[in-house]
Amino acid sequence: MPVVNFSALPQQARVWVFACDRDLDCEHARPLLAQVDAYLAQWKAHGSPLRCAREWIHHRFLAVGIDPTAEQASGCSIDDLFRQLRTIGASANTQIVGGGRVFYRDAAGAVHTVSRREFSERAARGDVTADTTVFDTSVGTADAWRTKFEARAADAWTAELLPVS
């Protein structure tokens, strides 16, 4: 199965979202994405090629999706994807796979990465609010990636990190 354009994936496509711990300019993103593309071109589950795609946005977020109507990813193939992305990230001097981080956009439009605790502290100071745009890296389908990845902090899982009003 070929690597396809992300827009060709059906709404129910399974998606994993990875986020770099810093912005990558074109000079640094290009080789990283070339490595991702090379991996996806040979990605298989139980010997069967996966119909997959990737999308890169905001100089930091990578969505990888598979079309479940063509082939299902196996646990081993998913584990291998995560291993490969850790390696690829290290070669670009960034961490792509990692949890416990909150990604949000400030009033000037810059994307920030902070710990959950730091996000809560910033919320308590009023630096981030219920209306702050956050990026939900836990979305799991192409539909959610397209419609819920960027959300108000109050409308995402980050609502639990905001002060109770």
> Span 87-110, mean pLDDT?
87
Q: Which CATH architecture has domain 6-91?
A: 2-Layer Sandwich (3.30)
Query: Are 58 and 13 a contacting pair, CB within 8 Å?
Result: no
What is the reported pLDDT for 73? 86
Q: Please, what is the end-to-end C-alpha distance for the chain in angstroms?
A: 51
**Closest by CA position to 111, among listed 53, 59, 146, 155:** 59
Q: Which residues pair with 135 in a beta bridge?
A: 103, 150
**CB-neighbour burial class of residue 4 (10 A; exposed 0-12, middle 13-18, buried 19+):** middle
What is the reported pLDDT for 157? 93
**Full-model pTM:** 0.91
Domain residue spans of the chain:
6-91, 101-161
Question: Quick one: what percent of the chain has pLDDT higher than 90?
Answer: 69
Could you report the per-residue pLDDT of 42-67, keeping only the tens digit for each?
998 888 889 999 999 999 999 999 99
For residue 38, the surrounding DSSP H or E stretch is helix 26-42
Question: Quick one: what percent of the chain has pLDDT higher than 70?
Answer: 98
**CB-neighbour burial class of residue 119 (10 A; exposed 0-12, middle 13-18, buried 19+):** buried
Could you report the per-residue pLDDT of 102-127, keeping only the tens digit for each?
999 999 999 999 999 999 999 999 99
What is the reported pLDDT for 92? 85
Residue 1 in this model has a pLDDT that exceeds 60: no
> Span 27-42, mean pLDDT?
92
Q: What is the DSSP string of 95-161?
A: --S--SEEEEE-TTS-EEEEEHHHHHHHHHHTSS-TTSEEE-TT--BHHHHHHHSEEEGGGSGGGGG
Query: Are 137 and 19 a contacting pair, CB within 8 Å?
Result: yes
